[in-house]
Amino acid sequence: MKFFVDTADIAAIAELNDLGMVDGVTTNPSIIAKSGRDILEVTKEICDLVEGPVSAEVVALDADSMITEGRKLAEIAENIAVKVPLTWDGLKACKVLSGEGKMVNVTLCFSANQALLAAKAGATFISPFIGRLDDINLDGLELISDIRDIYDNYGFDTQILAASIRNANHMSDCAKIGADVATAPPAVIKAMANHVLTDKGLAGFMADIAKAGIKIV
């Protein structure tokens, strides 16, 4: 499973990228706003830093304006994935932009029907939001599984990009279900390394090392 990092924090992206933990980056208007920087400027810097797809979201709501904005965003770098919402106008924009050879990430997906439409419209990525479904007592992981079944049934090339990841367990669960990509904040990706028994074992080792006076250099 590919790891995308969901942030516009250049330092955080660079740290994970140096470890080989970044296969791409996702951003949205809220994330860009938190960075306090110009959307085109920060997106270009991210594209220069990572080799994989960088999702940059349109802000328009009608298809024609989304297409215009998508073309502008795609000019930033070859690895831009234009992000559009899963609305009827978003699907129209997806069809046009993907037909022009641009990567398109269709976001805010909350049903298998929506995912099927996105694939038919030529989406490169579909972004089902796990955490937000969980928030209203629906099973976000079940949606990932349903989309996986549908896409496999018909050989769709659209990649499942699990989004709204809230914890480390979401990451492994998505991997088991067969999501192609999971995008998560840097803190969630780093939390995947944590385990109480690792901490306990290391503390025991360190106590024994101190007692025995072991030194390597």
Which candidate, 184, 194, 180, places its Cα nearest to that of 163?
184
d(CA 4, CA 189): 9
Count of other CB atoms within 10 angstroms of residue 165: 24
Q: Is 83 a catalytic residue?
A: yes
Which residue is catalytic, options 83, 92, 95, 120?
83
Rg of the Cα atoms in the chain = 20
Which candidate, 61, 41, 81, places its Cα nearest to that of 183?
81
Q: Would you list the DSSP string of 179-201?
A: -SEEEE-HHHHHHTT--HHHHHH
Residues labelled catalytic: 83
